[in-house]
Amino acid sequence: MSKPKRVRDHVREAFRVDAKAEGDHIMIGGWEVLEGKEGKKGRWFAIELNRKNAPWAYLKGEPFRNIASLELCAVLTAVMLFGDRLVDTSCKNRLLLTASTDNLGNTYVLQHFMSCKYPLSIVVMKLSVQLQKLGLELELGWIPRGQNEEADALTNKEFGGFDMKKRIEKNFGDLKFEILDELMLKAGELDAEIKLAKSSKEAKSDRPVDKSLKRKRGETKWKDPW
């Protein structure tokens, strides 16, 4: 239980993020927009994910198949790294965060903070926990990729437009995720069991049926009204 706070009337854009997945290479990046909309004015991060620090990103094969989860993971990382400046103890912050994506999927997911897709659902859970911990409310917006050039540059390791002194240098494995790693492990085990059960069921359905074992039509029907 938590005591309700006054909601801030002004909705502000706090940061912009992006994610990139090509082959086995994954990068997430984001920069702070609170001080203005020029890359050199805000703090920023560019973090590489790999099979060791984010094995869940490779469960579907090539990481681009999990791009929605990776983009939301960039949002989560930004909240964790920029959260100290976002918190206002006098009221509850309602933030407008813009992220580069080819669809509006993540904005719809965060409207209800719910998803049935794995591993996206686990990232949503962790993000909700982090926001609750900071006392923040989040509204995720969308902008075309052409308007998110700064964050896109970070995922391409093009840091020329940013102040290197304002870079938050972190490894993904150094971030303190209270529940992400444990939930990903358990969910991965469950996902493997579901896939195994599904494949076994499909294999059984592909077996030839012995027609001699089929019951005659109407044989199992009740023959009296009682």
- Decide if 148 contacts 16 (C-beta within 8 A): yes
Higher pLDDT, 59 or 52: 52
In a domain, 16, yes or no: yes
Rounded Cα gap, residues 25 and 54, in angstroms: 12
In a domain, 36, yes or no: yes
Rounded Cα gap, residues 190 and 198, in angstroms: 12
Position 38 scores a pLDDT of 57
Rounded Cα gap, residues 105 and 65, in angstroms: 14
Higher pLDDT, 86 or 24: 24
What CATH number is associated with residue 153?
A: 3.30.420.10
Position 195 scores a pLDDT of 76
Q: Mean of the pLDDT values across residues 27-32?
A: 93
- How confident is the model over 155-164, as pLDDT tens digits? 999 999 899 9
**Inter-helix orientation angle 120-134/180-205, to 10°:** 160
165, two tokens: 């002194």
How many domains does the chain divide into? 1
Q: Mean of the pLDDT values across residues 124-143?
A: 82
What distance separates the 2 farthest-apart alpha carbons in the chain?
87
Rounded Cα gap, residues 118 and 130, in angstroms: 19
| Residue 197, burial from CB neighbour count under 10 angstroms (0-12, 13-18, 19+) | exposed
Position 9 scores a pLDDT of 54
Q: Mean of the pLDDT values across residues 146-155?
A: 88
Position 99 scores a pLDDT of 46
Position 46 scores a pLDDT of 97
- Decide if 140 contacts 75 (C-beta within 8 A): yes
Lowest-pLDDT choice from 101-110, 179-188, 206-215: 206-215
- Decide if 54 contacts 174 (C-beta within 8 A): no
Task: Examine the pLDDT at 218 and tell me if it is beyond 70.
Answer: no
Higher pLDDT, 108 or 65: 65
Question: How, if at all, do strands 12-22 and 25-32 pair?
Answer: antiparallel
| Residue 153, burial from CB neighbour count under 10 angstroms (0-12, 13-18, 19+) | buried
In a domain, 225, yes or no: no
Instruction: Give the confidence band of 102 by pLDDT, cuts at 50, 70, 90.
Output: very low
Residues whose CB falls within 8 Å of the CB of residue 194, separated by 6 or more in sequence, listed in order: none
> Which residue range is the domain that position 120 belongs to?
12-193
In a domain, 4, yes or no: no
Higher pLDDT, 152 or 184: 152
